[in-house]
Chains A and B, each alone.
Chain A
Amino acid sequence: MTLTADLVIATAVAYVGLLFVIAYLGDRQTRRGAASFLRSPFVYTLSISVYCTSWTFYGAVGTAARSGLEFLTIYLGPTLVFVGWWFILRRLVRISHDQRITSIADLLSSRFGKSSRLAVLITVLAVIAIAPYIALQLKAITSSIEAIAGSSEFGRGSLEGWDEVGLAFGVAAGMALFTILFGTRNVDAKEQHHGVVAAIAFEAVIKLTALIAVGIFVVYIGGGMDTIFADAARVGIDVHASNTFGDRWIAMLVLSAAAVICLPRQFQVTVVENSNENHLRTASWAFPAYMLAMSVFTLPIALFGLTFMPVGSNPDMFVLTLPLAQGQDWLALFAFIGGFSSATSMIILESIALSIMVSNHIVVPIMLRLTSGDGIGEGKGVRRLILNARRLSIVLILFLGFGYFYFTRTSDALAPIGLISFTGVAQFLPAILASLFWRDASARAAIAAVAVGFVVWLWSSLMPSFASSSSLVADVLANGPWGIAWLRPQALFGLDGLDPLTHAVFWSLFLNATVLILGSLASNQSALEHVQAALFLNVFRRTSTDAASMTGSATADDLFLVARRVLGHDRAVDLFSEEARIAGTPWSALEPSPAFIRKLERELAGSIGAASAHVMLSKVVSGDSISLEEVMQITDETQQAIEYSQELERTSTQLRATAEKLEQANRQLRRVDLQKDEFLSQVSHEVRTPMTAIRAFSEILLDEPGLDSTSRDRFMTTIHRESLRLTSLLDEILDLSALERGERAWENRRLDAEDTLDQAIRVCDALARQSAMTIRLGPRAERAIVRADPDRLSQVLINLISNAIKYNRAAEPEVEVRSRCQDGTYIIEVEDNGTGIDAAERERIFEKFYRGDHIATAGNAGAGLGLPISREIVARMNGTLELIATARAGACFRVSLPMAEPGARA
């Protein structure tokens, strides 16, 4: 068999036909609900493998031949992203399911307050950024056909007269037609294309098998892996990665990791086409394994090609030219189909993904703006319009790719073209990460950030690639615009010496992220942004309240019209019937609930994107509805009112507390005032009795001069005694008041309290003998060192013992004095066996001038100041004086003093 261009083109067309059949069958099976294997995690994984395009199939070998291990970065980056699927991809998938996200532009627009402006920006930028990538595929297909055509004498066949550009144009046109037939047959409720996914999965298997077949063949004829490396080393090829791991390595790793998230087609297959979150689990290892299998033979093929192919042959085409050179035409044809597979799958999916973005974010909004409310298309208008818009955008996208190919056709390597696209779409990454993890990122900042990143990309990455075809660009590259050196595209701000790719990646992403962060910090979010940010951030913490809903009084008819135009008659009828069934009312009486409107909005968003769905529904639902901004404002005001009332409540609680304190102080004042009055009257009373006696007797002495001397003496004695009593009373009052005000000079010093107690007992002993009673000594402490004033302590003890003697009415009166040391406290107890003190009097016994009833009746009553003075004195020695209850009837007073040397008993 001789391979000719005609043959490979015929094969390619046949292959496309096969794809079409697979897609058709896939769609039909899905509609029947029979194609469960199409929803298996492995088909999902294979569809993600659309990441491996002809860049991988042909270009990776080229990169390996030119820069060794560097080609691996393109696969290690995505491997890392998938290994860490739990942290980013899982969130993306969950959010997209919840919000019916249809594309990457939809995702960002939805997060940033359903901003149409952001969606338009992302769409336009994605279309521009992908152009080089499409060009890469066109170039790969064209080069592979050329390689086969050039391999034999009559190889060109009917291609005679076609140059490379014409061929590429033909390929682009064919691809456009094919993609239109393939991807735009219908608008799904959710943008899932099961037929296309089936075809893509099939292609993934084909390209992997083809590449491995070539790899095994090369290893076989090369004599094994080790021989290939040894041969390559012998002819002087650097098989050790001596210069590989530099800044460029890191930049490419970052780029490829970003690309597998941000590329529109990767977002489409990984996130939008995902029918079950758990498929991501399998993909997390199966997709890296797929890429690993794709890369195993890359290095051997490259090295073998470099070693044995003639100098000057294009390393990008080694996969094809090595079998050709060995006369293996069938293998070469298979390799061609593999490469063709990888290119077509990329072109199909990328242009479907981009066309969805263009129609949802550019065409539909324009249409909505042109038509006012009611006249949204006619009949199936919206759907037909959407489909036509998609078809048109597919054509546009492919010809943008062709345009780029045309202008850069003189550059030879595939991979650098792909990296330009990667750098372009990587500009979405900061915004995506912010939307997943940062609540305060704002729409205005996101728009500015993406725009800045993109301008830098245009300047330092895309524009330099035209240098070979435009002398103007070459001049700007060398000298900067108008000779401004610091604006040179590959040495911005004077940063030269970096690899151009690293330079572009660094500046674009750095400025992008900086603008996003600073802009968000400086600007405010709209209400809707606020709500959406919360929804995105809390996607795994579901709450039943969904604030971002429209409320209003749209009739079911209005809503149905909108739904039918976008979703199609059947789907709309289904939706409304279900709602009517749930509400339990007939169709005609259906009152759309906010929940239903929200559901409808989500359904619409699945077809035309969040921003457009929102605008479309607001047109119908407006009327007397409350806008979200108003709701937020009301909430704000309510919040303020609540805060204000809380403030008031706090103040009033404080006031209440203050008033209570005042009340308390007032009560105390009144009590003290009363005590003062009582004290005064008692003092007057106490003073009055002796004064009366003195006055009476002195008057008798004055009035009756003839009084006998005996009487005179008696009267004089009485006057003298009463004067003494008066003086002693006044002394006591002065003493007490001085003690209470702390005016007395006072010196506590270390002394043995037992000595003082003995002394007091001795003093009282005489008094006891007088009263014919005994002082019984109970158990005593041996030695008790306290800090006290000896005279004052003695005064207290004498007072207590003498009281016990004086007021004892028992038949055999007796006083017991005992003392002990306990827990660092010295305790003296004085107990009598008298009648004791009533419970009612116990409280008052320490009040001034208070004398118990039985005491008052006794003739030898004191002023009633002894106990108050004693208590005051003991308090000054940091001790206490109290009346304690005992088993016996009599009274028992206890003096407790802290010991200066606790435990010192010896």
Chain B
Amino acid sequence: MHRRKVIGSALFFSLFGMMASVPPLIMLFRFEGFVFGIPAATVFLFGLWVFLVVGAAWFSRALPRDEPASGVTKAP
């Protein structure tokens, strides 16, 4: 994928994570149901969290690599 598009998707992904974890989107999962005996809201939040971790892992490979800063010196 194009460099700018990858960065754009990373931005969108972060913003999506933000939107999904605050009201009003999060209100969608406030109903009193259980998934495998665990409340729906809990499942949703942990599911979102796992999704963010997986997405971040993908982006950590996909995002372009810059040449290292000239100022970086390894400590002796």
Contacts and interface: CB of A to CB of B under 8 A. Distances in A.
Contacts of A296: 46
Interface in B37-72: 37-42, 45-46, 49-50, 52-57, 59-61, 63, 65-66, 68-72
A83 B13 contact: yes
B73 A84 contact: no
A277 B72 CA distance: 9
Contacts of B7: 86
A261 to B, nearest CB: 14
Contact of A80 (B21, B34, B57): B21
30 contacts: A79-B53, A80-B17, A80-B21, A80-B52, A83-B52, A83-B55, A86-B7, A86-B63, A87-B14, A94-B69, A99-B71, A226-B36, A226-B38, A229-B37, A239-B42, A240-B32, A240-B41, A245-B22, A245-B23, A249-B22, A249-B23, A250-B22, A281-B63, A285-B53, A285-B54, A285-B56, A288-B52, A288-B56, A292-B50, A602-B71
A253 B49 contact: no
A99 B30 CA distance: 47
A31 B75 CA distance: 9
B18 interface: yes
Given A72-B45, A285-B53, A98 B38 contact: no
Most buried by B among A83, A97, A253, A275: A83
A69 B53 contact: no
B75 A190 contact: yes
Given A98-B71, A278-B65, A76 B56 contact: no
A30 interface: yes
A244 interface: yes
Nearest to A277: B68
Nearest to A603: B73
B69 A79 contact: no
Interface residues of B, number: 48
A92 to B, nearest CB: 12
Interface string A493-528: 000000000000000000000000000000000000
A282 B60 contact: yes
A79 B39 contact: no
Interface in A610-635: none
Contacts of A659: none
A239 B68 CA distance: 49
Given A285-B57, A288-B53, A190 B39 contact: no
Interface string A831-862: 00000000000000000000000000000000
A299 B34 CA distance: 15
A82 interface: yes
Interface string B1-44: 00000010011011001100111001100111010111111100
Given A80-B21, A246-B23, A100 B71 contact: yes
A100 B73 CA distance: 10
Nearest to B41: A241
A275 to B, nearest CB: 6
A224 B72 CA distance: 50
Contacts of B22: 245, 249-250, 253
Interface of B: 7, 10-11, 13-14, 17-18, 21-23, 26-27, 30-32, 34, 36-42, 45-46, 49-50, 52-57, 59-61, 63, 65-66, 68-76
A246 B26 CA distance: 10
Most buried by A among B7, B42, B60: B60
Interface string A471-485: 000000000000000
Contact of A194 (B11, B49, B75): B75
A551 interface: no
A289 interface: yes
Nearest to A292: B49
B21 A230 contact: no
Given A72-B45, A79-B49, A83-B55, A225 B13 contact: no
B30 A240 contact: yes
A242 B31 CA distance: 8
Nearest to B36: A226
A227 interface: yes
Given A282-B60, A285-B60, A542-B70, A292 B46 contact: yes
B10 A84 contact: yes
A540 B3 CA distance: 15
Given A250-B23, A278-B65, A84 B14 contact: yes
B74 A86 contact: no
Nearest to A282: B60
Nearest to A574: B76
A230 B72 contact: no
A752 interface: no
Interface string A232-247: 0000000111101110
B18 A97 contact: no
Given A31-B76, A69-B42, A225-B38, 20 more contacts: A39-B74, A84-B10, A86-B59, A192-B75, A224-B37, A225-B36, A229-B38, A239-B39, A240-B30, A240-B41, A245-B27, A245-B30, A249-B22, A253-B21, A277-B69, A284-B56, A284-B59, A284-B60, A289-B53, A540-B66
A230 B30 contact: no
Given A229-B34, A250-B22, A281-B63, A97 B39 contact: no
Contact of A230 (B14, B37, B41, B70): B37
Interface string A199-237: 000000000000000000000000011110110000000
A80 B14 contact: yes
A189 interface: yes
Contacts of A189: 75-76
A192 B42 CA distance: 39
Most buried by A among B7, B27, B56, B74: B56
